Amino acid sequence: MKTYQIAVIPGDGIGPEVMREAVKVLNAVSALDGGFNFEFTEYPWGCEYYLKTGEMMPEDGLERLKGSDAILLGAVGYPGVPDHISLRGLLLKLRRGFDQYVNLRPVKLLEGAPCPLKDVKPGEIDMVFVRENSEGEYSGQGAWLYPDSPQEVVIQDAVFSRKGCERVIRYAYELARREGKTLTSIIKANALNYSMVFWDQVFEEVGREYPDVETQSLLVDAAAMFMIKNPKRFQVVVTSNLFGDILTDLGAAISGGMGLAAGANLDPERRYPSMFEPIHGSAPKHAGKGDANPLASIWAAGQLLDHLGYPDWYGKIVDTVERMLKEKQGLTKDLGGSASTSECGDVFVKLLG
């Protein structure tokens, strides 16, 4: 029997509540499968930890997580700690520290999921975003000059390295090839004359090795419009860190809402553990109410299973989410139901078995 070491960082707000259900589901999967199980180690890092210690996680935090097979993350951020401190001190530190350079975010409209678009059927929104996750607009580099003076100047640098662009673009080409899908690169080279002209060039260069993959390049503003007007146009999408952040919230909005949106932070080379999380935040207003939707976290746990080599379990998890939506079983308030977070997890486990 294979035992996987999973680090669990429940984090802030509704994070711990939804994480509990993801863990419940992983335990149910291992019991049903019989071929593997999980050992979970919980790390109490986050904003509360910060208020006690002055740090979002201990200095040797990465070292302590390094040996795990994967990381499950709830959510980070809470009033009382500025967002740029909490996020840079934990979420972004893990993504960067473990070189999880691919942020893989499915945008798939399941049957029964609410969709604000007219005349769009399930199956017509089925994309996967490959968001650059290690540099770009999130490099954290820049300067703040002459603070609090009329001369004040702020510079926020975006960093696009050849290595950084090539590897994420190559990952996207490989995915498109493997799945026989089209690949769309989304960028803004008409206005960003260094970084994104360079990205376009790398996209074309790498593309020469993939003549079988059909591609299109779109400017981000046009892409936002087409995601609403003609979402069928997108299959595999590759884009920069910030554009991927924005467009995947848009993607969530057209495919059932943030309560269903999952993301995987991957180190495809498997030098470090990859990290799986719902892409919604800590939703402080809902914390402690027990009404948060755990399905995004459960979907992310499915991505974890896929990453560990169990794609069939990933498929079963997405199918079970779809069944709950179709049969309106065990849904939380955001999806028109009245189940609590833990009831939703219980119904999920029942249907899975």
Shortest distance, position 105 Cβ to ligand IPM, whole Å: 8
Q: Is the dihedral of CA 294, 300, 306, 311 positive or negative?
A: positive
What are the distances in angstroms from CA 175 to CA 144, 182, 183, 247, 255? Answer: 40, 10, 9, 19, 21
Which of ligand IPM, Mn ion, none lies near 87, with the C-beta cut-off 5 to 8 A by kind? ligand IPM
Which of Mn ion, ligand IPM, none lies near 174, with the C-beta cut-off 5 to 8 A by kind? none
Which of 69, 132, 137, 245 lies at the binding interface for Mn ion (CB under 5 A)? 245
**DSSP characters for 201-213?**
HHHHHHHTT-TTS
Q: Is 253 in the site for ligand IPM (CB under 6 A)?
A: no
Q: Is 132 in the site for Mn ion (CB under 5 A)?
A: no
Taking only Cα atoms into account, the Rg of the chain, rounded to an integer number of angstroms, comes to: 20
Shortest distance, position 70 Cβ to Mn ion, whole Å: 21
Sketch the per residue contact string, 84 through 123, with ligand IPM: x for CB under 6 A, - otherwise: ---x---x--------------------------------
* 256: nearest Cα among 106, 128, 72, 76: 106
By CB under 6 A, what part of segment 286-325 binds ligand IPM?
none
Shortest distance, position 109 Cβ to ligand IPM, whole Å: 19
Which of 245, 291, 306, 334 lies at the binding interface for ligand IPM (CB under 6 A)? 245
Stretch that binds Mn ion, among 84-92, 242-250, 311-319, 337-345 (CB under 5 A): 242-250
Residue 127 three-state SS: strand
Shortest distance, position 127 Cβ to ligand IPM, whole Å: 16
CB neighbours of residue 28 within 10 Å = 17
Q: What angle do CA 192, 280, 81 make, to 5 degrees?
A: 85
Both tokens of 143, joined, read 């300067």
Which of 104, 261, 279, 304 lies at the binding interface for ligand IPM (CB under 6 A)? 279
Q: One-letter amino acid identity for 149?
A: S
Shortest distance, position 70 Cβ to ligand IPM, whole Å: 17
CB neighbours of residue 64 within 10 Å = 14
Q: For ligand IPM, how many residues bind (rule: CB under 6 A)? A: 4
Q: At what angle do helices 295-307 and 311-327 cross, to 10 degrees?
A: 160
Which residues 6+ apart lie within 8 Å of 150 measured at CB? none
Which residues 6+ apart lie within 8 Å of 95 measured at CB? 103, 133, 134, 265, 275
Considering beta carbons, is residue 94 or 213 the nearer one to Mn ion? 94
Shortest distance, position 87 Cβ to ligand IPM, whole Å: 4
Considering beta carbons, is residue 245 or 267 the nearer one to Mn ion? 245
Q: For Mn ion, how many residues bind (rule: CB under 5 A)? A: 1
Considering beta carbons, is residue 7 or 87 the nearer one to Mn ion? 87
Q: One-letter amino acid identity for 38?
A: F
Catalytic residues: 138, 188, 221, 245, 249
Considering beta carbons, is residue 252 or 349 the nearer one to ligand IPM? 252
Contact positions vs Mn ion (CB under 5 A) = 245
Contact positions vs ligand IPM (CB under 6 A) = 87, 91, 245, 279
